[in-house]
Amino acid sequence: MPLSYDLIHSSSTIPMTTMTRHETLAERADALLARMTLAQKLGQMMMPERMAATADDVRDYHIGSVLSGGGSAPGTNAVSDWVAMNDAYWAASMDEAPGRLPIPLLYAVDAIHGHANVRGATVFPHNIGLGCTRDPELVARAAGVMAREVLATGVDWTFAPTLAVAQNIHWGRTYESFSERPEVVASFAAGYVRAVQGDLGADGVIACAKHWVGDGGTTAGNDQGDTAITEAELERTHMTPYYPALDAGLLTVMASFNSWNGDKCHGHRYLLTDVLKGRLGFDGLVVSDWDGVDYLHEDYGTAISMAANAGIDVFMVSVEWKQCLALLTQQVEQGVVPMSRIDDAVRRILGVKLRFGLFEKPRPAARVWSNDPAFGGLAHREVAREAVRKSLVLLKNDQTLLPLSRAARILVAGKSAHNRGHQCGGFTVAWQGETTNEAIAGGTSVWEGIQALTPMATLDESGASADAASHDVAIVVIGETPYAEGMGDLRAGGRVQPGSQVVVKPHTLPPYGKTTELAQLHPDDLATITAIAAKGIPVVTVFIGGRPLVVNAELDASQAFVAAWLPGSEGQGVADVLLGDFPFHGTLSFAWPASAAPSYKDEAPRFPFGYGIVTG
């Protein structure tokens, strides 16, 4: 059970002898609540996107939190731009003009594999790779570094960890999932939350477990789809990772876009209130996902009241927050949403802010870690590099081709050999990710990593110059190109509803592809491998991608095959292992499919869950 904030005393820094009486955080929250007008309360419940809300809006509408959607960054996207932006929002929230009650604002981002929205951040492997390390201590260290980089920008809250237990690789968010097994996801949850939140002092940021609940279990792996399973199965597979996160003192939870047996989670009073806040005793706040409230009902006002009454405390409403605020006000005034529900939501919001010590923190620019020069620095990148090394899974190694000798004449080929954008995947600088080296400031591509270890390697992405007389071996780096959310779905047809994007609705986009077979999604990859192999050069294939795909042809044409997932900015970690400085350590956190049948789980996998040739 999470620690109740009634038990934490706000005045704990005052020596016992001078204290007559502790005022509990709950009492402080209640005292504030008693002084708040309806407008001030409902303002706390709004979370607009930064592009849709100015600092003046924060002051005038008493807004409680603001977020950056994927790729949304201030100024030139430098750390100092973020601090300046947060400072301006914070100052507006603390304005003491008549009619205002200063309550510090929370700023939130998707730091889900590092603070990767920010240029120059240390970008860690996406969760699927971290899952293959089976190393909760390492993952917690990575989360701690990430939190420190978040603090450097004056941001308070990250929408991480994702605790999805992806059950179908067709889902475009598979890479956000540590594993298809709940126990593996759960093994990372508590350490991650503790590393991010710290002791809720100057070293921590607020964590947010997402997406409650069943996001990884939708039929056919459709993003924002329906999870049609029994309650016992929902609990066993999808709730399991939340228990240790809650025990670790998790402060916030995000509602999920998906439905459970046809009923949308955003309007699900049983799941949000009865189970999460009731049975599991969660006393933090529940934030809605990006405009996730909108889909509850065609009448927006009704949708808003359904969400509020179901248990949503903070409304992430991107652009149309003024309309949301006006309609919520109306619903309260008409008694559709009872005042007791509003008070409960605001008490939770204030409780999170108080427990986080937000009222005691100075303005963002004056905080301990703001503009920390360690942001994107070597010490942080070393942790990411270690995570890359330990996340690699060696699937095939005929004649013990790997590790390669530094003396070997290595041809480095493939479209992702020298592409830090591809390595990082979605949710990196841009919401859908980037496709160039330039967009990812700092770090190393796989090629740059190899080059740093041996002068005997040459780069030719096309592989056209392959020649057995000059090359002893080829490393071919292939795989998926970046995507995020539903745009990464593999669906037979149709279009998908985008999530975190500032667009005018309704708006849909095409999915990534129609099949789980890489040779159909990216035929050039197989062509590069087979052309090099046909010249009698042994091929080491390195797969970059957000999920295991059917790669039978690529595997058969390669003598060695390494799954590198989406390793992030530190391609050096891949080179470290290929050239034998460190052993292969990772084991599959998802079964690897053998066929592109839609129900791939029914097939005998090409490699079972837990497989991986470990070399040390």
Query: Residue 186 contacts by C-beta under 8 Å, 6 or more apart in sequence?
Result: 240, 241, 243, 244
- Please, what is the minimum distance in Å from the beta carbon of residue 423 to ligand BGC? 21
Residue (8 or 51) nearer to ligand BGC, CB: 51
Tell whether residue 214 is a contact of ligand BGC (CB under 6 A).
no
Rounded Cα distance between 230 and 57, Å, is: 44
Burial of 615 (0-12, 13-18, 19+ CB in 10 A): middle
Which is the catalytic residue, given 485, 517, 525, 554?
A: 485
Chain centroid to Cα 570, Å, comes to 18
Tell whether residue 48 is a contact of ligand BGC (CB under 6 A).
no
Q: Which of 41, 126, 210, 266 binds ligand BGC (CB under 6 A)?
A: 210
- Please, what is the minimum distance in Å from the beta carbon of residue 49 to ligand BGC? 8
Pairing of strands 560-565, 393-397: antiparallel
Provide the b/e sequence for 348-384 (b: ≥16 CB within 10 Å).
Answer: bbbbbbbbbebbebebbbebebbbbeebbeeebbebb
Rounded Cα distance between 136 and 179, Å, is: 13
The neighbouring-strand residues paired with 490 are 513
- Please, what is the minimum distance in Å from the beta carbon of residue 107 to ligand BGC? 13
- Please, what is the minimum distance in Å from the beta carbon of residue 496 to ligand BGC? 12
Which is the catalytic residue, given 135, 289, 554, 576?
A: 289
Q: Which of residues 148-167 bind ligand BGC (CB under 6 A)?
A: 159
Q: Which of 43, 48, 70, 104 binds ligand BGC (CB under 6 A)?
A: 70
Cis peptide before 403 (omega within 30 of 0): yes
- Please, what is the minimum distance in Å from the beta carbon of residue 94 to ligand BGC? 25
Q: Residue 66: in which H helix or E strand, if any?
A: strand 65-67
**In the annotation, is 485 catalytic?**
yes
Tell whether residue 107 is a contact of ligand BGC (CB under 6 A).
no
The size of the interface with ligand BGC (CB under 6 A), counted in residues, is: 10
- Please, what is the minimum distance in Å from the beta carbon of residue 2 to ligand BGC? 21
Query: How would you classify residue 447: left for phi > 0, otherwise alpha for psi between -120 and 50, otherwise beta?
Result: alpha
133 in Cβ contact with 585 (< 8 Å): yes
Q: Which of 64, 69, 443, 479 binds ligand BGC (CB under 6 A)?
A: 69
Residue (1 or 503) nearer to ligand BGC, CB: 503
Q: Which of residues 486-505 bind ligand BGC (CB under 6 A)?
A: 499-500
- Please, what is the minimum distance in Å from the beta carbon of residue 211 to ligand BGC? 6
- Please, what is the minimum distance in Å from the beta carbon of residue 316 to ligand BGC? 7
Q: Which of 87, 110, 135, 554 binds ligand BGC (CB under 6 A)?
A: 110
Q: How many residues does the chain have?
A: 616
Pairing of strands 315-318, 285-287: unpaired
The neighbouring-strand residues paired with 107 are 66
Q: Which of 289, 480, 554, 576 binds ligand BGC (CB under 6 A)?
A: 289
Token pair in block for residue 245: 């996160």
Rounded Cα distance between 325 and 304, Å, is: 9
Residue (105 or 575) nearer to ligand BGC, CB: 105
Residue (159 or 590) nearer to ligand BGC, CB: 159
Rounded Cα distance between 143 and 191, Å, is: 9
**In the annotation, is 289 catalytic?**
yes
Residue (159 or 582) nearer to ligand BGC, CB: 159
Query: How would you classify residue 414: left for phi > 0, otherwise alpha for psi between -120 and 50, otherwise beta?
Result: left
Rounded Cα distance between 34 and 11, Å, is: 20
Residue (48 or 421) nearer to ligand BGC, CB: 48
Chain centroid to Cα 118, Å, comes to 14
Residue (159 or 592) nearer to ligand BGC, CB: 159
Q: Which of 171, 178, 290, 543 binds ligand BGC (CB under 6 A)?
A: 290
Residue (57 or 289) nearer to ligand BGC, CB: 289
Catalog residues that contact ligand BGC under the rule CB under 6 A: 69-70, 110, 159, 210, 289-290, 485, 499-500
Point out the residues that are catalytic.
289, 485
